[in-house]
């Protein structure tokens, strides 16, 4: 930017004070100019109050034989005033433009915010509509399930694997379209679920003894238990295919092992098998979680089940424990009750059984070995 020439370079007769007053009035930055007309008039009066300085300037100029031109001085002052007026006008116009631009920017921001809020509100309404539709579909499905009792059918209820392992397929059918799930799968098996069937794969059994367990297939409020057995590496199977009960040999198994039980404070101490009964002996220790150890009874629907054939054997009688709803009350925590249950005689081919009470919180032992 070019610097404005001083008035004294144009009109030699202008005093220094007048020169400074004019240069200040014509400053490029508004804040460097006189801020009021009174301030400007005061600077001009200051020029008149210093005649000695004016006279000195005139003498210096007189040596150069240049006459003082008052008209040019007045012209410069007028020009300075014009420039000041123009500068103030331009400054005011620019301030108005900036204010208008800021106003437009704020209006644009407010408009963008309004549009965004409207979009969010629309998205929320759409999400609420989707959720309402999903709830309505679920309600209709639940009503359909209530009106139409679910049936769950499986093609197999027992899976038998050799010691080397393998896989088995189970077909699953239901009267309504519903998904199913698998739970309680033993750690040595995996399940792959497909539409209408599943595949169970079991690893090789490196142990010598047969291992047994079960898993549950659930669809809606229906459940099916699938038993699994796998022979050990040294097992030999000499099963008698005769369907008659075990009337040839008596058998006594002391502290039989089992793969799983539902209650930790009850144990099977022995199993006695003869031609008339299968007798299971129990030892029950009153738990600390109940006041005075709680109470106990045996449900009339107690059964034992052959894992291999799924054949069930009913309870005949109970010894030293009442049949529900009657019950035995313990006198304190940790008290021990020994009792026995008599069942129908099992088939002589049975090697593994489940002992099932069949009620919520009942005694259940799975994979009880009879060898």
Q: Can you list the domains of the chain with their CATH numbers? A: 1-147 (no CATH), 149-237 (2.60.40.10), 245-371 (2.60.40)
10-residue averages of pLDDT along the chain (371 residues): 69 74 79 78 71 55 59 79 82 88 90 90 90 85 68 86 88 79 91 89 87 88 87 56 48 89 92 91 92 90 92 92 90 91 91 89 89 77
Confidence (pLDDT) at 2: 57
Q: How many CA atoms lie within 13 A of 341 on its CB side?
A: 26
Confidence (pLDDT) at 234: 65
How far is 285 from 31, CA to CA, in rounded Å? Answer: 99
Confidence (pLDDT) at 52: 43
292-312 b/e (C-beta count within 10 Å ≥ 16 → b): ebeebebbeebbbbbbbeebb
Confidence (pLDDT) at 285: 93
Confidence (pLDDT) at 201: 92
Which residues on adjacent β-strands are paired with residue 230? 161, 211
Confidence (pLDDT) at 135: 87
């Amino acid at each position: 930017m070019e610097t404005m020439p001083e008035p004294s370079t144009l009109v030699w007769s202008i005093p220094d004070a007048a020169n400074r007053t004019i240069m200040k009035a014509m400053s490029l930055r508004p804040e460097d100019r006189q801020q009021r007309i009174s301030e400007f008039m005061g600077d001009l009066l200051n020029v008149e109050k210093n005649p000695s300085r004016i006279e000195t300037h005139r003498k210096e100029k007189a040596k150069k034989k240049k006459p003082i031109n008052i008209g040019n001085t007045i012209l410069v002052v007028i020009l300075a005033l014009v420039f000041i007026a123009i500068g103030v006008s331009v400054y005011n116009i620019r301030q108005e433009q900036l204010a208008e631009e800021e106003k437009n920017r704020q209006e644009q921001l407010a408009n963008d915010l309004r549009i965004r809020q409207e979009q969010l509100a629309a998205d929320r309404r759409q999400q609420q509509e989707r959720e309402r539709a999903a709830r309505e579909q679920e309600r209709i499905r639940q009503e359909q399930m209530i009106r139409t009792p679910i049936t769950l059918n499986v093609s197999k209820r027992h899976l038998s694997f050799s010691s080397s392992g393998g896989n088995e397929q189970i077909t699953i059918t239901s009267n309504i379209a519903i998904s199913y799930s698998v739970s309680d799968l033993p750690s040595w098996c995996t399940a792959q679920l497909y539409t209408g069937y599943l595949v169970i794969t079991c690893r090789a059994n490196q142990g010598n003894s047969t291992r047994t367990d079960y898993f549950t297939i659930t669809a809606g409020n229906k459940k099916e238990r699938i038993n699994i057995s796998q022979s050990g590496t040294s097992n030999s199977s000499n099963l008698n295919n005769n369907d008659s009960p075990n009337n040839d040999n008596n058998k006594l198994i002391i502290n039989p092992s089992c793969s799983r039980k539902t209650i930790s404070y009850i144990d099977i101490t022995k199993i006695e098998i003869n031609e008339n009964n299968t007798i299971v002996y129990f030892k029950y220790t009153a738990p600390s979680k109940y006041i005075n150890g709680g109470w106990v009874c045996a449900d009339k629907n107690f059964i034992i089940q052959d894992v291999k054939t799924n054949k069930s054997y009913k309870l005949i009688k109970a010894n030293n424990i009442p049949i529900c709803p009657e019950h035995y009350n313990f006198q304190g925590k940790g008290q021990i009750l020994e009792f026995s249950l008599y069942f129908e005689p099992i088939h002589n081919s049975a090697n593994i059984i489940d002992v099932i009470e069949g009620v919520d919180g009942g005694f259940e032992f799975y994979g009880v070995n009879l060898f």
